[in-house]
Amino acid sequence: MTLGDRFDLKDQAQNPANHIGKVVRIRPDGSAPDDNPRQAGWAPEVWSLGHRNVQAAAVNPATGELWTVEHGARGGDEVNIPRKGLNYGWPVITYGVDYSGAKIGEGTAKPGLEQPLHHWDPSIAPSGMTFYTGARFPKWRGDVLVGALRGRILVRLDIEDDKVVGEERMLEGLRERIRDVRQGPDGFVYLLTDAAQGRVLRLRPADGRS
């Protein structure tokens, strides 16, 4: 489960005693597993901290690890692999700035704080994400698809060994906010647009294979 920083409470993302700006890990009954970090002063549910506003989370089918995408402020949107007991930096480090243009935190790096796997600056405002595992787009297998609100695009991140080695931006001509992206059981990619007359779109390969 992911929880945002509620904007005015951003400093609380560094306080492990609460759930603000955290990834938490719980059982179906709401209790905390015994193998959670459970460090001194940490709420037992907390898995990782220092997150701003996670928009989507998906499990990498190849590794079983959780991946997340989160909004930065003005710039600094991130892709992370939240690992047990680690601190992902917000608001001490970030690649973004405040909406006013003011600096946030201490810079982009600090010992003991994790770097994002990938970041966007300027911001694309990432939304839904999924790992593609189907057969319709064989060159995409194992890659991450991310929707974008501000960017109004679909992003494909080329993944190799838990590293982002390339980025492709698609559907720029659509000019619609993409709220969510999913792989259907038929192997096609489905998108949900965010508008007064929102739509569900289905992507097919350019060669028309069905």
- Single out the residue in 100, 123, 146 at which a domain terminates: 123
- Spatial contact of 193 and 201, defined as CB atoms under 8 Å apart: yes
208 pLDDT above the threshold of 70: no
Residue 63 has a pLDDT of 96
Same domain, residue pair 110 and 209: no
Span 139-160, average pLDDT: 97
CATH of the domain at 7: 2.120.10.30
Handedness of CA 183, 186, 189, 193 (dihedral sign): negative
Residue 206 has a pLDDT of 87
Mean pLDDT of the chain: 96
Burial of 7 (0-12, 13-18, 19+ CB in 10 A): exposed
204 pLDDT above the threshold of 90: yes
- Single out the residue in 95, 123, 151 at which a domain terminates: 123
**Dist. CA 49–CA 5, nearest whole Å:** 10
* pLDDT-based confidence at residue 210 (cuts at 50, 70, 90): low
The model carries a pTM of 0.95
- pLDDT, tens digit, 9 for 90 and up, residues 28-64: 999 999 999 999 999 999 999 999 999 999 999 999 9
Q: Which domain holds residue 32?
A: 1-123
Residue 131 has a pLDDT of 98
For residue 6, what are the contacts with CB-CB under 8 A and spacing of at least 6? 12, 20
Burial of 203 (0-12, 13-18, 19+ CB in 10 A): middle
Same domain, residue pair 118 and 160: no
Span 71-100, average pLDDT: 97
- Single out the residue in 103, 123, 143 at which a domain terminates: 123
